[in-house]
Amino acid sequence: MNLDTLQQALSAGLPRRVAEQCVQVQAMYPADTSSVLQPEGNFLELYATAKRYAGAFQQQVEDFGAVVGFPAQSRPGNVKSLDRTVEKYQGTDRVLPLDMLAGKVVVPNLQALYRVAARVGEAFEVVAYRDRVLRPQKSGYRDLHFIVNVSGHYAELKIMHAFFDQVDAYEHRLYEIRRGLELRAQPVSLSGPEVYPVLASVEPLMLDTLEDTSRELFGKTWRMVLGREAGDGPQVRYYLLGGVPVKLEEQPGEGVSLVAFDPLRGGFVADARYYSAIKREDRESVVQITAEEFERQVETLQHGS
């Protein structure tokens, strides 16, 4: 067993049994995704090949999901758009993308994550693998990332924890805003070393803040994953929001439940806007109170109504 990888896994917060799975999967797929290039020679050949094998790859992904017992699907629309591919190629990394065809399997816990990863080789010809749970992307996003061979075309397959899958759908909107800001300024050829404006006014602030937000979002998602693995129980807190007593219960991975007593709305009520108001603290005064004070406030309002 690779003790360095085991220690890295334990340091990342993985339970011992999962850390050992992590080491075993890494040994099964030693080639790293950073060393892989698409076999096709140009954009048109790449796109045509992806279109040709999209249906077969989709079926292969879905069949694999059925075998391992977890939801699996290929990219909506099957093939990455050619416009998007050209756009990325015009950046600093001028290589043909490995995700023209892409699929994912979504699992509910870390044990299942590595258990499914260990079986990828049964259904696909694995070209390369990267454990992005141990080596997350700069944004903090984590998954198990495979490059697989589909009849001579390389495709992407991700094994994802359900929490990251759900959060990624929201974070992608932040990514699209960042990408839009970066693409607003057209590249300019210069005759010398003089600097040239590429981001105007508040745009650098927006880019930096959006990137910080993504890192925070994925960081909290990872802590939520670890909390679920550790079996953390619900956190119950009580607040007085203006004159409204609120009971708030947060369960890692299960979301938020609450109840408020608002006589203006007919008594007990559940509404996500109370949660937002407590977190923002920008509309009414918010005071954290005890369970006893919550009960007393409710009783006072009930008798006064």
Residue range 35-56, pLDDT digits in tens: 899 998 788 889 899 999 999 9
The two three-digit tokens of residue 283, written as one number: 């509309």
pTM: 0.84
| Residues with Cβ within 8 Å of residue 165, at least 6 apart in sequence | 104, 106
Q: Position 297: which residue type?
A: Q
Number of domains comprising the chain: 2
Q: Position 178: which residue type?
A: R
283 band by pLDDT with thresholds 50, 70 and 90 = low
Q: Is residue 60 part of a domain?
A: yes
- Say if residue 38 is in the same domain as residue 125: yes
Q: Show which of 114, 133, 162 is a domain's final residue.
A: 162
- Say if residue 137 is in the same domain as residue 244: no
Identify which has the larger pLDDT, 2 or 237: 237
Angle at alpha carbon of residue 66, lines to 65 and 68, rounded to 5° = 65
- Say if residue 157 is in the same domain as residue 250: no
Is pLDDT of 112 > 90? yes
What CATH number is attached to the domain comprising 13? 3.30.460.10
Q: State the average pLDDT over residues 141-160.
A: 97
Element (H, E) at 200: none
Q: Is residue 107 part of a domain?
A: yes
Q: State the average pLDDT over residues 143-157.
A: 97
Q: Is residue 169 part of a domain?
A: no
Q: Which domain holds residue 129?
A: 3-162
| Residues with Cβ within 8 Å of residue 259, at least 6 apart in sequence | 246, 247, 268, 269, 270
Q: For residue 71, what pLDDT is reported?
A: 97
Q: Is residue 183 part of a domain?
A: no
Is pLDDT of 9 > 70? yes
Q: Is residue 177 part of a domain?
A: no
Q: Is residue 56 part of a domain?
A: yes
Kindly list the strands in the beta sheet with 244-251, ordered across the sheet, starting from the edge strand earlier in the chain. Answer: 267-269, 255-262, 244-251, 235-241, 286-289
Q: Show which of 142, 162, 182 is a domain's final residue.
A: 162
| Residues with Cβ within 8 Å of residue 69, at least 6 apart in sequence | none
- Say if residue 9 is in the same domain as residue 145: yes
* Cα 258 from chain centroid (whole Å): 26
Q: Is residue 29 part of a domain?
A: yes
Q: For residue 86, what pLDDT is reported?
A: 64
Place of tokens 């069949």: 63
Query: Based on the number of CB atoms within 10 Å of its own CB, is 98 exposed (0-12), middle (13-18) or buried (19 or more)?
Result: buried
- Say if residue 31 is in the same domain as residue 149: yes
Q: Show which of 135, 162, 189 is a domain's final residue.
A: 162
163 band by pLDDT with thresholds 50, 70 and 90 = very high
- 224-271: pLDDT as tens digits: 999 889 888 889 999 999 889 999 998 877 789 999 999 888 899 999
